[in-house]
Structure 1
Amino acid sequence: MSRARLLTLAVSALGVVAFVWLSLPLPFLLGPMAACLIAALGGARLGGMGRVQPLMRTILGVTIGTAVTPETVGRLPEMAMSVMLVPIFVLIIGAVGYPFFRKVCGYDHPTAFYSAMPGGLQDMLVFGEEAGGNVRTMSLIHATRVLVIVSLIPILMTTVWQLDLSVPPGTDAEAVPPHELALMVAAALGGWWGGVKVKLFGASIIGPMIATGALSLAGLITHRPPAEAILAAQFFIGLAVGTKYVGITTRELRVDVTAGVGYCLLLALIAFGFAEAVALAGITDPLNAFLAFAPGGQSEMAIIAIIAGADLAFVIMHHLMRVILVITLAPIANRWLGKG
């Protein structure tokens, strides 16, 4: 293992210890994220975790899949009432975000467009690079979007909803039947492999989710992955956000990160409006509505929904719809706007 990766693991571990010692929320997610962010801003040469990152995301895919039950399927018509608002939600975000980055921040067309799209980070960077956008700028803006949203949500959950985020996200490994653990591992690796083979977007999450969902519906899996696995996923996903800022310059901090924070404020207003509408309509409770429309990263929002004890299927359904819409339609909209 490289020195950069060892340093990243050490810094992340210190972040967990610091958050636990200070009794701060979500120490295994926010601790590594904050510690790596501080280290990166201080000039530390941290390194990514390579294939470990998607491996950790398979745990989230399995966890989400365990929420797919006959009861969940029966509630799909109810969820659809809220999910149908997601296209409007994405359209408004684009209509507000693109002019903000283009006119206010002065970015070129492809950079402004793909910075405004609330899709998966990697997909937006690939599309943006192909369109001629500034990859570094887009990366920092999306990383800032995830960082700000994921950092603020736990504060809101503990102050507004009075949630106890110290509750373990699952049972201990010894409480999960061995045959179910084996099925989870098979679903994680097999679903990931299958997703890659069919070029499924977000294969490391969606593939295991589909495989586990099928096993859950069949009654073969009745438990979530053990708490230890979910905590490990939090750890690596948290450090991945923080390491996005490695090598950041003063100008990037002043221009791109500031633009990202401003964009987050706009996103917060839009998301709050939709969440409030869904809650007032009686479709779901305010917490589920809030988490469903909070435009953070798919992995990070899945973790927060798990820890909050939210309706995981409801929340993830909205995020999947958002990502699918953006990945499918963003390149088309970008070409159309580029001709305008």
Structure 2
Amino acid sequence: MSKNDILTLLGVLALGGAGAAAFEALSLPAGFLAGPMVAVVLAKSISLPLLKDNSFTFPKGLISANFIFIGAAMGSAVSPDFWAGAALWPLSMLALVAVVSGITSCVYLYTHKKCRWGRDEAFFAGLPGALGMTAALAQERGAPMDRIMIVQLVRLFLLIAVLPLIISSVVEGKEVIFTEANHAMSLGDGLQLVLALLICAVCGYAALKLKAPAGMLTGAFFASAALNSTGMLEFALPVWLATPCYILMGTNVGLYIGKMDRNALKPMLGTSLIVFAISLSVALGGAVVTSWALEISFDKVFLSFAPGGMEAMLLISILLDIDPVFVATHQLARFMGLLAFMPIVIRYVLGPVSADPADEARAQSAT
């Protein structure tokens, strides 16, 4: 990295830290994630000189290491008690399938019938919470990407910004909880933490090589969860270590969302907000019914069904102390289900590439 890159990196991290401090001072939930994201997006919107380089990204090594720490922190909240309700999970998984199908179908009908979007655009705009996969599949079909990405990014931004507020207002007394790591750490605890992090790093790297979704994070998470839930190696990240990791992730999400073209965003903002409202309403309705039918707490069902990025939803679960195993399992199942079945669905539902005249017209106008 050049000297300018290092200065930019430090400046962006300071901006993210300021956003986190502001959200915490206002007692807003999940402030360590939402605060940095909002701060970076706002700074980008006013063309702050610090963010004038639109190509700036965090080093991949830094992000990978951060995912390991975050995965380990999430898994450290898992105890054997979390598995007591696992017998109900197959039923909630079926409910998740219905919610994902409902979100995709409702958004498709609105954007295709009401907004006159092409079938490809409408379909990919409705796929919930799998941004990277959605972009890859849409590009493979040659679908115009501008509307799809704007709708998806606006939905991700709003979910991270408002979802903690919704959960905190609906579920009384829900607040950020840091685990037992607040006490002074002894030498033995420190050595145990280092060993656990090494195991999490190895498992994260293995998951990455196996091409698991968000491999570094999910591998570290399930390794940490296994160690803690079995009692083999119980540990928790201290606040002074966990907090910067959360801030870094929120800042990184903000950088990603801040790359949206403002000129393209303005005419699309109204449609994006309606798509967000549709997606959230279907997820909320499914969560209410599932929570009542299966007698599972509403907050963890809602967060499991929320159509946001998997990593962000997992982090919100740990920041709000909402059963991270339940949330992680359902979010991962949704991602893997989409990854496995969407190519088949696309082939038989959308048909051959550019079969829809509206899609062809959009593709020509985008070139």
When normalised by structure 2's length, the TM-score is 0.83
State the Cα distance separating 1:217 from its structure 2 match: 4.5
1:78 and 1:283 in contact (8 A); partners too? no
Q: State the shift of 1:32 in Å.
A: 0.8
Q: CA RMSD in A?
A: 2.6
Deviation at 1:265, TM superposition (A): 0.3
Structure 1 pair 337–60 and aligned structure 2 pair: CA distance change class (3 A) = same
Deviation, structure 1 residue 22: 3.6
Q: Which region of structure 1 is more displaced relative to structure 2, 202-211 or 254-263?
A: 254-263
Taking structure 1 as reference, are residues 164 and 228 closer, same or farther at Cα in structure 2, changes over 3 Å only? farther
**Alignment counterpart, residue 127 of structure 2, candidates 98, 109, 117:** 117
Contact preservation (8 Å) 1:56, 1:232: no
How far is the alpha carbon of 1:218 from its aligned partner? 4.2
Paired residue for 1:337, among 336, 340, 349?
349
Q: Counterpart of 2:205 in 1: which secondary structure?
A: helix
Change (3 A) 1:87 1:174: same
* CA displacement at 1:173 relative to structure 2: 7.5
Higher mean C-alpha displacement, 321-330 vs 228-237: 228-237
Shift of 1:247: 4.6
The equivalent residue for 1:225 is 237
Distance between the aligned counterparts of 2:239 and 2:340, measured in 1? Answer: 34
More divergent stretch after superposition (296-305 vs 60-69):
60-69
Partner of 2:360: none
CA contact (8 A) 2:16 2:37 kept: yes
The aligned counterpart of 2:362 is none
Q: Does 1:263 align with 2:279?
A: no
Q: 2:313 aligns with which of 292, 301, 316?
A: 301
Maintained 8 Å contact 1:28/1:234: yes
Taking a change above 3 Å as real, the CA distance of residues 311 and 17 of structure 1, as seen in their structure-2 partners, is: closer
Does the C-alpha gap of structure 1 residues 101 and 57 become closer, same or farther in structure 2, counting only changes over 3 Å? farther
Bigger Rg, structure 1 or 2:
2
User: Residue deviations 1:265-287, cap 9 Å, x none?
Assistant: 00121111111112212431222
* 1:39 counterpart = 2:49: no
Amino acid at match of 2:299: L
Shift of the alpha carbon at 1:70? 4.2
1:157 paired with 2:167, answer yes
Question: Which amino acid is 1:275 matched to?
Answer: A
* 2:148 is equivalent to residue 138 of structure 1: yes
Contact 2:280 2:306 in 1 (8 A): yes
Kept in 1, the 8 Å contact 2:36–2:247? The answer is: yes
What 5-or-longer segments of structure 2 have no aligned partner? 356-367
CA distance in 2, matches of 1:32, 1:173: 26
Are the aligned partners of 2:204 and 2:217 in contact in 1 as well (CA < 8 Å)?
A: yes
CA contact (8 A) 1:86 1:321 kept: no
TM-score, with normalisation over the residues of structure 1?
A: 0.89
Alignment of 1:1-340 (within 5 A): 1=1, 2=5, 3-43=7-47, 44-45=51-52, 47-51=56-60, 52-67=62-77, 69-163=79-173, 165-168=175-178, 171-172=181-182, 174-175=184-185, 177-339=189-351
- Aligned pair in 2 of structure 1 residues 81, 192: CA closer, same or farther (>3 Å)? same
Deviations, residues 48-99 of structure 1 (Å, cap 9, x unaligned): 2132223322233223434555444453212222122111111111111223
Q: Would you say the 8 A contact 2:179–2:236 is kept in 1?
A: no
Task: Report the CA distance shift for 1:217/1:31 in structure 2 as closer, same or farther (over 3 A).
Answer: closer
Shift of 1:153: 1.9
CA positional deviation for 1:136: 4.6
SS of the residue corresponding to residue 128 of structure 2 reads coil
* Distance of 1:71 and 1:332 partners within structure 2: 38
**Larger deviation: 232-241 or 216-225?**
216-225
Q: Is the 8 A contact 2:15 2:36 kept in 1?
A: yes
Question: How far off is 1:166 after superposition?
Answer: 4.8
Tell me the amino acid that sits aligned with residue 48 of structure 1. T
Deviates more, 1:149-158 or 1:88-97: 149-158
CA distance in 1, matches of 2:46, 2:65: 29
Kindly provide the amino acid, as one letter, of the partner of residue 179 in structure 1: L
